[in-house]
Chains A and B, each alone.
Chain A
Amino acid sequence: MDAAAEHLAQLVELLRTDSEQLIHRWVELTAPSLRGRLTEAELHSDSRELFDALQQALATTGNVNDSHFAEVKGLLEDLSRARARQGFSPSETAISVFTLKQAVSELVGQQDDQNLYRQVLTFSTLLDVLGLRTFEAYARTREGIIKEQSEQLLELTTPVVKLWDGVLAVPLVGTLDSIRTQIVMEKLLQALVDTGSEHAIIDITGVLAVDTQVAQHLLKTVMAARLMGAECTISGIRPQIAQTIVALGIEFGDITTKASLSDALRHALRRSGVDVVATARSGR
Chain B
Amino acid sequence: MTELGTESARLEIIGDDDVVRVRQLARSYAQQVKLSLVDQTKLVTATSELARNTLTYGGGGAAEIGIVRDDHRTGVRASFQDSGPGIPDLDLAMTDGWTSGNGLGLGLSGARRLVDDFELDTEVGRGTTVTVVKWSR
Contact = CB atoms under 8 A, between A and B. Distances in A.
A binds B: yes
Interface of A: 179, 182, 186
5 contacts: A179-B137, A182-B38, A186-B36, A186-B37, A186-B38
Contacts of A182: 38
Nearest to B137: A179
Interface magnitude class on chain B: under 10
A182 B39 CA distance: 11
B90 to A, nearest CB: 26
Interface of B: 36-38, 137
A186 B35 CA distance: 14
A182 B137 CA distance: 12
A206 B29 CA distance: 39
Contacts of A179: 137
Nearest to B37: A186
A186 B36 CA distance: 10
Q: Which has the most chain A C-beta neighbours within 10 Å: B36, B37, B38?
A: B38
Nearest to B36: A186
B37 to A, nearest CB: 8
B40 to A, nearest CB: 12
Contacts of A186: 36-38
A182 B37 CA distance: 12
A129 B116 CA distance: 36
A179 B137 CA distance: 9
A179 B38 CA distance: 12
A174 to B, nearest CB: 20
Nearest to A185: B38
Nearest to A179: B137
Closest 3 CB pairs of A and B: A186-B38, A179-B137, A182-B38
A137 to B, nearest CB: 15
Nearest to A182: B38
